[in-house]
Amino acid sequence: MHWGAFSPEVRDGRVVGVRPFAKDRDPSPILESIPDAIYDESRIDRPYVRAGFLDRGNVDAAQARGADPFVPVDWDTALDLVAGEVARVRETWGNEAIFGGSYGWASAGRLHHARTLLHRFLNGAGGFTGQVTNYSYAAGMTIMPHVVGTMQPVSGPGTSWQSIAESTRLMVMFGGVPLKNTQVESGGAGEHTAAQWLGRAREAGVRFVSISPLRGDVAGFLDAEWLAPRPGSDTAIMLGLAHTLVEEGLHDRAFLARYTKGFERFRPYLLGETDGQPKDADWAAQMSGLSAEAIRDLARRMAANRTFITASWSLQRADHGEQTYWMTVVLAALLGQIGLPGGGFGFGYGAVNGMGNPRRNAPVPRMPAGLKPAGIDIPVARITDMLLRPGETIDFNGQRLTYPEIRLIYWAGGNPFHHHQDINRLIEAWRRPETIVVHEPWWTATARHADIVLPATTPLERNDIAASSLDRFVIAMHRAIDPVGEARDDFRIFADLARRLGFGDEFAEGRDEMGWLRHIYDVARQQAAHYDLEMPDFDAFWAAGHIEFAAPDQPYVLFERFRSDPQGAPLRTASGRIEIFSETIDSFGYEDCPAHPVWRAPVEWLGGAKARDYPLHLISNQPATRLHGQMDNGRVSRAQKIRGREPVLIHPQDAAARGVEDRDIVRVFNGRGACLAGAIVTDTIRPGVVAMATGAWYDPVEPGGPGSLDRHGNPNVLTRDAGTSRLAQGPVSGSALVEIERWEGKLPEITIGRPPAITGT
């Protein structure tokens, strides 16, 4: 699983418990939820079709999505229906009218990765409209290639923990390094190492500064200093730090001259010569709510020590998120330690287990999705916008895209009713297409808003291989139980559909499940030779249950080669150097992402006018007790709810002002939506800020409209649906204001844990 390897305990054909992988010294408690989820009432037992869809054909009645009951059908009926719809839409409207972006984490197995399989299927069917970038770090991965020629500082591998423990003296962490997130690694983690490495760094004398509105974003055992700024003000703090360095002559001029380009174009902005506003520590203090002295003092300490700067992925999931990452690089460049052991910068430490995890380059077995013959790709988080505004254009990283008109949505392995911002706007958009097909193991809100629902197996019901490009282990996932109900593997579903549409051989290439596992393993094994690694043959791997690549002996330092030989190993930027000023970005002419890093106030934040109406800044961070919406139906997630509702952290001052007491049920609301939550009154959060993790399954009293109430606590009824800027068009879930009041009414029952209404055939 994405949250770690384990062996199931099976009794009489049922999973009754899990034993964490023996080599994992710090396994994730989320594993304990697995047996609950497999047999949960919310498992989809067989294929279903929405009643209105069956009755009235596929042109009208889309309004009833999410409200209509479902009709059970047999597999052949369901598969004929889906194949017929794909064929009809492709013939009538063209492949571009099929939306198969299907963003989502699905499960850790690389063969039964639902999204990859869907892409393989739709590629075979002639193409589709897809999604590029991701919800995790769209802004970061788009801006970094302009600045340092690669997105590696965002996606990894970054400077290893080994290098940090050995050489860093001061670690400055914007957004902290929350261990709750290091439970997870996309594709799975053989061993959880982040906590261990932080402990070693602490023992080695590294000092930690966590800059985050939440104290809990850093482990208590680090004795970190805690600076709690206003959310969304990090770019301003970094500018204030940079200003102090330059003002006091602490910046590394030799480094700037040799390794960077455009400092002289940025400097006048920093000093206020272009706009009359020096970005000094006093200004940064006003923006952030930190003290100017704290900012100056930190800048001096950063210059005096080997300093490693990290920024969490969350920081760029916000208005102008590109600027925060660009400014992180510029700040590190001013210190002149990029490419030195334990120095420089990196992103996503504390986002996933693998960031900083020492690992040799090694191949990862993967299912090939094939080539896409037709159809465009939209930036991932513009989905609602695309559905609502067909034919209109948007800017994206120097391109202009025209939104296609979508007639059919096909989703497998993701949950947009979990991950997308402003669910009420999504619901409006979701009513536009003629047909929506979803594969899911569980009755998530996405499954409930579909027309045709196909039940998918979970990992213990099939054979697979788990592997991640940031982890040292490759894990054999042995089938442990029979499929629950009539669930089928996504692979089998797509193979059957491809056969119906006349390309069954191209899809399956004559291989079954074990044939494919052997094949993708063998391809990886051949690649291993290029990395000077050896992998045992498939049968030996499958019998042993895992392989482990030895950890490297040398610490890894990002940009070490560039540092030692900037001419011989230039960056892949336009200038070959770190770009403090980018001619390329300048040429795009985007006011919201100009040629060097700038401060642009978020549309919603505590420093702006909108805070008069909604005076609390909502942080909707990743949940400690589940993976997004996955395992929300397990015991670990359930145990932390308050009368079944998602907790919301609120400062005692803010609670008192609203007559809210600890564990009260509250209504969290703004102009976009409202949900219920359970208050946790705590001084571990900055006043004016409230925090509610993502992942409580959306459970509306009635779906759609800002007046609609989600009973369960999904923060995406409150978040904003906008792009970070015209450069990346990334999601901005981090920039949202809300108000909170005590819930005085009768507590509505939560219904999302049970299947939806089902009628007879």
Q: Closest separation between CB of residue 270 and ligand MGD, Å?
A: 21
Q: Closest separation between CB of residue 134 and Mo ion, Å?
A: 6
The catalytic position among 3, 48, 103, 743 is 103
The residue whose two tokens read 């089902």 is 758
Q: Closest separation between CB of residue 81 and ligand MGD, Å?
A: 17
Q: Closest separation between CB of residue 210 and ligand MGD, Å?
A: 8
Contacts (Cβ under 8 Å, ≥6 apart) of 753: 40, 41, 42, 633, 697
Which residues in the 726-755 window bind ligand MGD by CB under 6 A?
733-734
Determine how β-strand 435-440 pairs with β-strand 408-412: parallel
Which residues in the 479-508 window bind ligand MGD by CB under 6 A?
490
Instruction: Name the helix (H) or strand (E) containing 225.
Output: strand 225-227
66/232 with CB nearer ligand MGD: 232
Alpha-carbon distance of 355 to 441, in angstroms, equals 30
Other Cβ atoms within 10 Å of 75 Cβ, number: 16
The catalytic position among 105, 326, 614, 743 is 105
Q: What angle do CA 369, 374, 377 make, to 5 degrees?
A: 75
Per the annotation, the verdict on 259 as an active-site residue is no
φ, ψ at 439 (rounded to 5°)? -105, 130
Beta bridge partners of residue 15, listed in sequence order: 10
**Would you count residue 633 as binding ligand MGD (CB under 6 A)?**
no
- Figure out which of the listed residues 6, 53, 135, 581 binds ligand MGD, where binding follows CB under 6 A: 135
Q: Closest separation between CB of residue 327 and Mo ion, Å?
A: 22
Alpha-carbon distance of 617 to 737, in angstroms, equals 5
3-state helix, strand, coil in the chain (%, to 5): 35, 20, 45
Instruction: Name the helix (H) or strand (E) containing 684.
Output: none
- Figure out which of the listed residues 624, 696, 732, 740 binds ligand MGD, where binding follows CB under 6 A: 624
Could you tell me how many residues of this chain bind Mo ion (CB under 5 A)? Answer: 1
Q: Closest separation between CB of residue 180 and ligand MGD, Å?
A: 5
Q: Please name which of 446, 372, 443, 374 lies closest in space to residue 409, comparing C-alpha atoms.
A: 446
Q: In what order do the strands lie in the sheet with 207-211?
A: 225-227, 207-211, 170-174, 307-311, 344-347
- Figure out which of the listed residues 128, 442, 473, 538 binds ligand MGD, where binding follows CB under 6 A: 442
**Would you count residue 48 as binding ligand MGD (CB under 6 A)?**
no
**Would you count residue 217 as binding ligand MGD (CB under 6 A)?**
yes
Site string for Mo ion, 104-143 (x = CB under 5 A): --------------------------------x-------
> Which residue stretch of 189-197, 363-371, 384-392, 626-634 sits at the interface with ligand MGD (rule: CB under 6 A)?
626-634
65/420 with CB nearer ligand MGD: 420
The one of ligand MGD, Mo ion, none whose footprint includes residue 338, by CB under 5 to 8 A per kind, is none
Polymer length of the chain: 761
**Would you count residue 112 as binding ligand MGD (CB under 6 A)?**
yes
Give the tokens for residue 342: 């334990």
Q: Closest separation between CB of residue 527 and ligand MGD, Å?
A: 25
- Decide if 728 contacts 143 (C-beta within 8 A): yes
Per the annotation, the verdict on 103 as an active-site residue is yes
Could you tell me how many residues of this chain bind ligand MGD (CB under 6 A)? Answer: 62
- Decide if 327 contacts 578 (C-beta within 8 A): no
Determine how β-strand 737-742 pairs with β-strand 665-669: antiparallel
Q: Please name which of 207, 203, 224 lies closest in space to residue 171, comparing C-alpha atoms.
A: 207
Contacts (Cβ under 8 Å, ≥6 apart) of 510: none
Other Cβ atoms within 10 Å of 265 Cβ, number: 16
445/642 with CB nearer ligand MGD: 445
**Would you count residue 353 as binding Mo ion (CB under 5 A)?**
no
Beta bridge partners of residue 642, listed in sequence order: 645
- CA 369, distance to chain mean position in Å, is 21
**Would you count residue 40 as binding ligand MGD (CB under 6 A)?**
no
**Would you count residue 114 as binding ligand MGD (CB under 6 A)?**
yes
What sections of 125-260 are H helices per DSSP? 138-148, 152-155, 161-167, 194-203, 234-247, 253-259
582/733 with CB nearer ligand MGD: 733
**Would you count residue 735 as binding Mo ion (CB under 5 A)?**
no
- CA 420, distance to chain mean position in Å, is 11
The residue whose two tokens read 């049922």 is 14
Q: Please name which of 628, 703, 103 lies closest in space to residue 449, comparing C-alpha atoms.
A: 703
294/571 with CB nearer ligand MGD: 294
**Would you count residue 715 as binding ligand MGD (CB under 6 A)?**
yes
The amino acid sitting at 437 is: V
**Would you count residue 155 as binding Mo ion (CB under 5 A)?**
no
109/336 with CB nearer ligand MGD: 109
The residue whose two tokens read 């985007």 is 590
Q: Closest separation between CB of residue 414 and ligand MGD, Å?
A: 4
Alpha-carbon distance of 332 to 215, in angstroms, equals 24
**Would you count residue 347 as binding ligand MGD (CB under 6 A)?**
no
58/136 with CB nearer Mo ion: 136
**Would you count residue 288 as binding Mo ion (CB under 5 A)?**
no
Q: Closest separation between CB of residue 455 and ligand MGD, Å?
A: 9
- Decide if 161 contacts 443 (C-beta within 8 A): no
**Would you count residue 159 as binding Mo ion (CB under 5 A)?**
no
Q: Closest separation between CB of residue 470 and Mo ion, Å?
A: 14
- Figure out which of the listed residues 627, 649, 709, 752 binds ligand MGD, where binding follows CB under 6 A: 627
Catalytic residue list? 103, 105
List interacting residues with Mo ion (CB under 5 A).
136
List interacting residues with ligand MGD (CB under 6 A).
104-107, 112, 114, 135-136, 174-176, 178, 180-181, 183-184, 211-214, 217, 229, 231-232, 234, 312-315, 317-318, 351-352, 412-415, 418-419, 439-442, 444, 456, 490, 619-624, 627-630, 694, 715-716, 719, 733-734
